[in-house]
Amino acid sequence: MRALQWGFTLVEAVIAMLVVGILLAIAVPAWSNALARTHAAAARAALLGSLQRSITHAAIAGTEVVLCPSAAIDCRDDWDWSDGWIAYADIDGDRRRDANETLLHEESALPDDIRLFTSKGRKRLVFQPNGGNAGSNVTFTLCTGNGPGSAAALVLANDGRLRDARAPSRAAEQCSAAPR
């Protein structure tokens, strides 16, 4: 009488490992793309929230509000907003945060796979008491770690309206720049 033996043959084990490898090769990129899209959506929501708070405060308080990339408690002279941003009431209108000017909002740095830029020349936004944005329209380019093809644009009009747009190719190229 022969005893039953339990186990796998070498061929069965190799086939099982190949199947697992194929499944991982499909799942990992899909997971990272989904994670990048989630991070981008969270960054977009944070930006929208900051814009709304800034516009609302400017209208209610009757004072200008500055929204800019942050350097601790003041604005950074840059169009890369990836390291976070602040909003403050600019009571004296000098576009610099003074000790008596209230910090309205501070957003922390975005995840490493997300970058956010404004149009060149628009390093800070100034919202007026009428809710408008002083200066020209500004385009935000939102990049995920998936390259220029994943870039999205958000255009803020002078009257405070925000709309989605296709990222200009020049702005999308920033998405390929070295990570911060």
5 occurs within a structural domain: no
Of the candidates 42, 114, 34, 48, the residue with the CA atom closest to the CA atom of residue 81: 114
Q: Is the pTM of this model over 0.95?
A: no
Taking the CA atoms of 11, 16, 19 and 21 in sequence, report the sign of the dihedral they define. negative
The structural domain count of the chain equals 1
Per-residue pLDDT, 177:
63
Of the candidates 98, 110, 13, 36, the residue with the CA atom closest to the CA atom of residue 64: 98
Q: Which domain holds residue 34?
A: 10-176
User: 142-180 pLDDT, tens per residue?
Assistant: 888 776 677 888 888 887 788 888 887 777 777 766 455
42 occurs within a structural domain: yes
User: 96-112 pLDDT, tens per residue?
Assistant: 898 899 999 999 999 98
1 occurs within a structural domain: no
Residue 50 has pLDDT above 90, yes or no: yes
97 occurs within a structural domain: yes
169 occurs within a structural domain: yes
User: 10-44 pLDDT, tens per residue?
Assistant: 888 889 899 988 888 887 777 888 888 888 889 99
**Least confident window among 17-21, 63-67, 80-84, 146-150:** 146-150
The CATH number of residue 104's host domain is 3.55.40.10
168 occurs within a structural domain: yes
